[in-house]
A and B are shown apart, each in its own frame.
Chain A
Amino acid sequence: MSPRRLDTTALIYLALAGVVAVGGAAVAMDGGNLFSTANLVDMFTRTSLTGFLAIGMTLVILCRSLDLSVGYTAALSSLVAATTMDGDPGRIVLGVAAALLVSGLIGAAGGAVVAFLGVNPFIATLGVGLIIKGYLDTRYKGPAGDVPALFQQFGYTRVAFLPISTIVMLALAAAGIWFLRSTRTGHHMYAVGGDIDIARMSGVRTKRVLMAAHVLCGMAAGTAGLLLAARFGTGSAESYTNLYELDAIAAVVLGGTLLLGGRGGIAGTVAGVLILAVLDTVFNVMQINPFAKDVLRGAIIIAAVAIYARRQLGRTARRPRFDAATTGAGTGRP
């Protein structure tokens, strides 16, 4: 939008280019080709799931909130979709609707606890996640439901090297960018995350905006659950064990969205997701030990954010006193 935001987003895409270049070179030295169709497909496939989750997560983080329940929401959504569809292609629409409805409601529940009960989002959504986990463990003793082949296309079909799921994810990202820029609710997310008191004083219905972010985040997680169902051919409660929420948060932060809210956007998040996907593919192609992968991922996430932080420092140095003033205004009110 403004020159500065462009800079940040540009920087992240530059980082992405760097990761692609370094990864490509490393793979090439290893005698492979990172840009072979197979590897490109792999890379893009890996973006879809984290992408859905991270797009939703971007919204809540922009509002200075957080959602640690998305992994559980996605798992539940996959089950709701698969059991509703029950192998009947005629029930696909119903299944999708049911999954999105349930995940939206979960988002709403988390959002309500955050917005109306004033519970810190970390705890609120961790709690919501635990509640879903208990339900999943009690109700479903493993995979359940049956996804018709037609809907499995969502997980397996691709156009050249772009999987349909990735295209849908990118479309959702574009919609999200448009939403943040062109709708009031979306635009107000920046205000709520920037300073909720100022936003409220300006007449922004902050609770409604927070709720919207959480509901949308829940529905994005629901979409991720649909993808899981399409990929698995069934619903799986076990998927919550994979800590998808942390992947999503890492992607959002890698994408330059401030964990404290108010700055960033979905364009950056997409780059963050891509960075993680490229790393995964590179690690896979190079047959990196799975434990070394964790080490590298952790180190790269920290390093990238440290680099952004450096830039952030440079920025604040140019206007050191205003931040102080706004922080004061934000925290000073009892």
Chain B
Amino acid sequence: MSPSPVLAMRGIDKAFLGVPVLRSVDLDIEPGEVHALVGENGAGKSTLMKILAGVHTADAGTIELHGRAVSFTHPLQAQHAGIATVFQEFNLLPELSVAENLHLGREPRRRGLIDRRAMAERTAELLADLGVDDLAPAAKAGTLSVPRRQIVEIARAMSQGADLICMDEPTAALADAEVELLYRLVERLRDKGVSVLYVSHRLREIFDLCDRITVLKDGERVATVDTPDITPDELVTAMVGRRIEAVFPEPLPGTETGEVRLRVEGGGNAHVDGIDLEVRAGEIVGLAGLQGSGRTEVAEAVFGITPFTRGTVAVDGAPKRITGPRKAIAAGLALVTEDRKAQGLALNQSVKANARMVLDANARVHSRERLARIDGVLSGLDLVSQGGDQEVQYLSGGNQQKVVVAKWLAAEPGVIVLDEPTRGIDVGAKHKLYSAIRSLAAEGLAVLLITSELIEVIGLADRIVVLHDGRIAGELPAGATEQQVMAYATGRSPA
């Protein structure tokens, strides 16, 4: 270890309302290193990062930057000290331009006034420096695509002249190809001698990018290791405290592929076209594709949010005109949306209120029996909470996702569409979700699984439908390789 780390955190304690979240955590980051921070959700990664960012203040412990003790009570202090943070949730203001977002809180000034010319120039330089040349500084953030917003976030962190950049799940919203761009950005940072604290659930990225890894578990540091000294399996074991034999569970015994439950023929609207899709009972169909290829748009069309304007949809053999969520639900469809906080949950309401939301909202699926079964559904998903009256905002991401799934299962759908169900969820919770998906199939549901993590489609799907540019580029059987999927996804034919 080098004698002067950029950052040295010692004995950090933090409790929220009496519940300890971090217990005597140490963390060292060397200049120019990419340091991974891993752990299950609830392990304290985000809290640690927010202490670094000045959002929270530690209850005990010391933070030293370049050997100097610091303590932050406001994000601005952290920024001034040279720590920049890219949070998991998008922290851009849609009404402001790229340049304004990049410089928010640190606008260049001339004679005390905002110097807009300098702002535009610096933005252009910064983006060029990152190798991004097709992003207009004057464009409003609200008009940008998800990966571009991510780029702006990272550019903002870089522009702060920070020597430590913290990234919280930076790839959560990125498709694999876009992850490449992020790799380049991170490597560029490393080359400049900037340290990166990298929080991710994606083992591949950690092993691709990071020099060292710190593992948190239940608020305590389990280990800090050099990446070459550990294998992915060992890492997972360290995180969850047990060895996961295979990441993806096998199909449950007794899972049978039955009748076609969902059939789309020639489906198209403003975003997608020529969608032919079939999902059978007991089958998991993966829907793969790059960001912007129309994966979510297909899900939204099937569910009637932006309905197909062409083609036909049939559920259980009966043609349906699905023009909205209500029609979809009545037809026996369910959609676990990509963004659970914004689209899935009423955060101020209790677990129970959320779990019965679909039943409450739809007379056609509401019944006393189903209401009575909700507790069973929740416990079947291993939901860890203080009980049904707890507000979901106080649950971890994984547990929140379970509530979303429960709310749909309560309605006993025939077809369930899962859009990025594991986004932002830790490895342990992911594994439980994979098992849950398997058991859904075993119970005879038709599952349409949308995910940007290729490995998930490959590991779980019985068939893989690959989208490219709003159209189906090809279909692959189970056991397809990443290369084959990528080939279709990028518009080529697999060799």
- Touching chains A and B, CB distance < 8 Å: yes
Query: Is B105 touching A202 in the complex (CB atoms < 8 A)?
Result: yes
Contacts of B90 in A (CB 8 A): 325-326, 329
Contacting residue for B104 out of A191, A320, A323, CB 8 A? A191
Q: Which of B91-112 contact A (CB under 8 A)?
A: 91-97, 100, 104-107, 109, 112
**Does A27 lie at the interface of the complex (its beta carbon under 8 Å from any beta carbon of B)?**
no
Q: What CA separation (Å) do A37 and B394 show in the bound complex? A: 64
Q: What CA separation (Å) do A328 and B94 show in the bound complex? A: 13
Known interface pairs A202-B75, A202-B105, A324-B343; A194-B96 also in contact (CB < 8 Å): yes
Contacts of A4 in B (CB 8 A): 140
Query: Is B94 touching A326 in the complex (CB atoms < 8 A)?
Result: yes
Mark each residue of chain A from 185 to 206: 1 if its CB lies under 8 Å from any CB of chain B, else 0. 0011011001100111111110
Query: Is A195 touching B347 in the complex (CB atoms < 8 A)?
Result: no
Contacting residue for B343 out of A188, A201, A204, A328, CB 8 A? A328
Contacts of B87 in A (CB 8 A): 201
Q: What CA separation (Å) do A322 and B141 show in the bound complex? A: 10
A334: min CB distance to chain B, Å: 5
Q: What CA separation (Å) do A190 and B149 show in the bound complex? A: 19
Query: Is B89 touching A2 in the complex (CB atoms < 8 A)?
Result: no
Query: Is A202 touching B113 in the complex (CB atoms < 8 A)?
Result: no
**Does A314 lie at the interface of the complex (its beta carbon under 8 Å from any beta carbon of B)?**
no
**Does A332 lie at the interface of the complex (its beta carbon under 8 Å from any beta carbon of B)?**
yes
Contacts of B296 in A (CB 8 A): 321
**Does A141 lie at the interface of the complex (its beta carbon under 8 Å from any beta carbon of B)?**
no
**Does A263 lie at the interface of the complex (its beta carbon under 8 Å from any beta carbon of B)?**
yes
**Does A182 lie at the interface of the complex (its beta carbon under 8 Å from any beta carbon of B)?**
yes
Q: What CA separation (Å) do A202 and B90 show in the bound complex? A: 12
Q: What CA separation (Å) do A221 and B92 show in the bound complex? A: 33
Known interface pairs A184-B107, A190-B96; A325-B142 also in contact (CB < 8 Å): no
A198: min CB distance to chain B, Å: 5
**Does B177 lie at the interface of the complex (its beta carbon under 8 Å from any beta carbon of A)?**
no
**Does B213 lie at the interface of the complex (its beta carbon under 8 Å from any beta carbon of A)?**
no
**Does A293 lie at the interface of the complex (its beta carbon under 8 Å from any beta carbon of B)?**
no
Contacts of A320 in B (CB 8 A): 306
Known interface pairs A187-B107, A198-B91, A201-B55; A2-B339 also in contact (CB < 8 Å): no
Query: Is B342 touching A181 in the complex (CB atoms < 8 A)?
Result: no
Mark each residue of chain A from 283 to 327: 1 if its CB lies under 8 Å from any CB of chain B, else 0. 000000000000000000000000000000000001111111111
Known interface pairs A183-B114, A325-B342; A332-B105 also in contact (CB < 8 Å): no
Known interface pairs A187-B114, A332-B347, A334-B393; A194-B342 also in contact (CB < 8 Å): no
Query: Is B95 touching A194 in the complex (CB atoms < 8 A)?
Result: yes
Mark each residue of chain A from 24 to 54: 1 if its CB lies under 8 Å from any CB of chain B, else 0. 0000000000000000000000000000000
Contacts of B95 in A (CB 8 A): 190, 194, 262-263
**Does B143 lie at the interface of the complex (its beta carbon under 8 Å from any beta carbon of A)?**
yes
Query: Is B93 touching A322 in the complex (CB atoms < 8 A)?
Result: no
Q: What CA separation (Å) do A182 and B108 show in the bound complex? A: 11
Query: Is B93 touching A203 in the complex (CB atoms < 8 A)?
Result: no
Contacts of B109 in A (CB 8 A): 184
Q: What CA separation (Å) do A304 and B367 show in the bound complex? A: 44
Contacts of A205 in B (CB 8 A): 74, 76
Known interface pairs A2-B140, A190-B96, A332-B347; A184-B339 also in contact (CB < 8 Å): no
A167: min CB distance to chain B, Å: 24
Contacts of A333 in B (CB 8 A): 89
Known interface pairs A188-B105, A203-B76; A332-B93 also in contact (CB < 8 Å): no
**Does B47 lie at the interface of the complex (its beta carbon under 8 Å from any beta carbon of A)?**
no
Minimum CB distance partner of B143 in chain A: A319
**Does B138 lie at the interface of the complex (its beta carbon under 8 Å from any beta carbon of A)?**
yes
Beyond A323-B94, A332-B347, 7 additional contacts (C-beta under 8 Å) are A188-B104, A190-B96, A203-B79, A204-B105, A322-B94, A328-B89, A328-B342
Q: List 5 A-B contacts (CB under 8 A).
A: A183-B114, A326-B90, A326-B93, A331-B341, A332-B342
